[in-house]
Chain A
Amino acid sequence: MTLGGFLNQLLQMLLVALAAPLLMGWVNACRAWLQNKSAPSLLQPYRVLRKLLHKDAALAENASWLFRFAPYVIFGCMWLVAGIVPVVASELPFAAAADVIALVGVFAVARVFISLAAMDIGTAFGTLGARREMLIGALAEPALLIIFFNFALISQSTSLTTIVDTLAHREFALYPSLAFAAVAFVMVLLAENARVPVDNPATHLELTMVHEALILEYSARHLALIEWASAIKLFAYCAIGIACFAPWGIAQAGDWNALPLAVLAAVAKLMIAGAGLATLEAVSAKMRIFRVPEFVATAFMLAMLGLLLSYVFEV
């Protein structure tokens, strides 16, 4: 673990945490533009966080330690993800601490804790949200894992660093299985980040809400941490997608000369990804909640087909 690499690591973690709400703001702004609304400021998510942090926390009378502890764990998990996923540079020192399977595991930890916290108060909404979240997660998590297995079969590795290196720094080749993986990944991204066809973060409609139902009991700093964590989660998902499907221009850790270009590339790619996400959200309608398992199961099947395809083309 070189000092340069370590610095790079810390820098990235800080940068991701600080930039994540900006991406959220960008997606929201893009969506507003597409819907012919006047867009909120890009900095709106930061203002929300600041407002929440200033408020006094209101805690339900019967909340247990788990309820107060969960936001910190969720935030910690997401920050760990921010430290693993290559954004501007690959070969981060922490990246070796968790390969893609462990990455999926971190997301699972966060999901389990947020669901448990939602069930802690014992209101109808909390358990409803927990049930839906775990249901979507139960299907989306394996799908994500299988998507990563597609990469593992191509690069003979489950470590993100090696995957990115294989795809970014070697001879260009088309991988048909990745077409399937890409479609599946977008579907999982939408499902996991509570985006439109699956969940609408802008409404509190009990028939459809998932994420908002989970965090209904949270307020002030706890809510701020959770919102921040979900911003980092969206950022991390976008970064994973970019690193896996469009890794060109990424720098290696400690290579300070390549860094400015890599930062520019990363910003441009994230902006495109955010705009694409907003477009997807703008053109699709919210699904019935009963259709969601089918949606995620389809992602699972597609990822599995990708696996099968990668064997066919080896012949």
Chain B
Amino acid sequence: MPLSGQLINVLAAVMLLIAFAMLSQRRILSLIELFAWQGVVLAASTFIVAYTTGQGHLYISGVLTVALKVVALPWILFRLIHRLNIRWDVETLINIPTTMLIGIALVIFAFNLAQPISQMASTITRSTLGIAMACVLLSFLMMMTRRKAVPVVIGFLAMENGLFFAATSATYGMPMVVEFGIALDVLVGGFIFGIFFFQVRETFDSLDTRHMEKLRED
């Protein structure tokens, strides 16, 4: 296996490592940092894929990743929690080792799901598809097991990271238009969530998503 392929594999492993670190992280600030690091890893792997395969548009999406997911979104999130003054620990619905166990089961599931696809694919990054899917599922799990709104949003953003990674590893990325669209969506999503946080806090005086249960009509 050429060095670039090995590097991509290592970066994929680090992606997964970060996904698990996010799953087990208790502090919001560290969570955002981890999210930014995931963006860095994602961008690095995108650049390597771009370099080895000569796909020019991947450079652009790499730059986009850095700008958006490493700089802009973490900055917005930092500002948000600064403004909202919410630096408390993340509360989880299930205890962390159990969450990790479920995570491992998900990883096995994702790997086995991806195995036939990766055997068919001919891309240099094919074996990372399983990891990308695992990242998506793990982010989903994180969204489900967190109580506060901010970690849920970070989970959502991390899920997008996973999807992006899956796209890069399976087919060398989506068409440029789609990527721009998604990037814009994420950014807009970030803003909407920001507004949403303020609204939620004004309504319930807290950012605990459990309060949403009160919206149910009885």
Contact = CB atoms under 8 A, between A and B. Distances in A.
A176 interface: yes
Q: How large is the interface on A (under 10, 10 to 19, 20 to 34, 35 or more residues)?
A: 20 to 34
A308 interface: yes
B13 A315 contact: no
Given A179-B13, A179-B17, A301 B119 contact: no
A202 interface: no
Nearest to A291: B26
A303 to B, nearest CB: 11
A305 B107 contact: yes
Interface in B159-207: none
Contact of B13 (A293, A298, A309): A309
Contact of B14 (A179, A302, A315): A179
A185 interface: no
A174 B115 contact: no
A270 B3 CA distance: 29
A46 interface: no
B100 A298 contact: yes
Contacts of A312: 111, 114-115, 127, 130-131
A177 B6 contact: no
Interface string A289-305: 00001100110011011
Contacts of B13: 176-177, 179-180, 309
A256 interface: no
Contacts of A304: 104
Interface string B114-131: 110011000000110011
Contact of A315 (B10, B24, B107, B119): B119
Contacts of A207: none
A301 B97 contact: yes
Nearest to A301: B100
Given A308-B107, A312-B130, A174 B101 contact: no
A315 B17 contact: no
Contacts of B130: 312
Contacts of A183: 17
Contacts, number: 65
Interface in B1-38: 1, 3, 6-7, 9-10, 12-14, 16-17, 20, 24
A262 to B, nearest CB: 27
B144 interface: no
Contact of A301 (B6, B9, B20, B127): B20
Nearest to B13: A176
A311 interface: yes
A41 to B, nearest CB: 38
B94 interface: no
B108 interface: yes
A308 B7 contact: no
B20 to A, nearest CB: 7
A162 B17 CA distance: 28
Most buried by B among A177, A305, A312: A312
A57 B210 CA distance: 61
Contacts of B10: 174, 176, 179
A177 B16 CA distance: 11
Interface in A83-123: none
A257 to B, nearest CB: 32
B89 to A, nearest CB: 12
Contacts of A173: 1, 6
B131 A305 contact: no
A305 B18 CA distance: 12
B67 interface: no
Given A180-B17, A305-B20, A311-B111, 10 more contacts: A173-B1, A176-B10, A176-B12, A176-B13, A298-B96, A298-B97, A305-B104, A305-B107, A312-B111, A315-B126
Interface of A: 173-174, 176-177, 179-180, 183, 293-294, 297-298, 301-302, 304-305, 308-309, 311-313, 315
21 contacts: A173-B1, A173-B6, A174-B3, A174-B6, A174-B9, A174-B10, A176-B9, A179-B13, A179-B14, A179-B17, A183-B17, A294-B97, A301-B101, A302-B20, A305-B17, A308-B104, A308-B108, A312-B127, A315-B118, A315-B126, A315-B127
Interface of B: 1, 3, 6-7, 9-10, 12-14, 16-17, 20, 24, 96-97, 100-101, 103-104, 107-108, 111, 114-115, 118-119, 126-127, 130-131
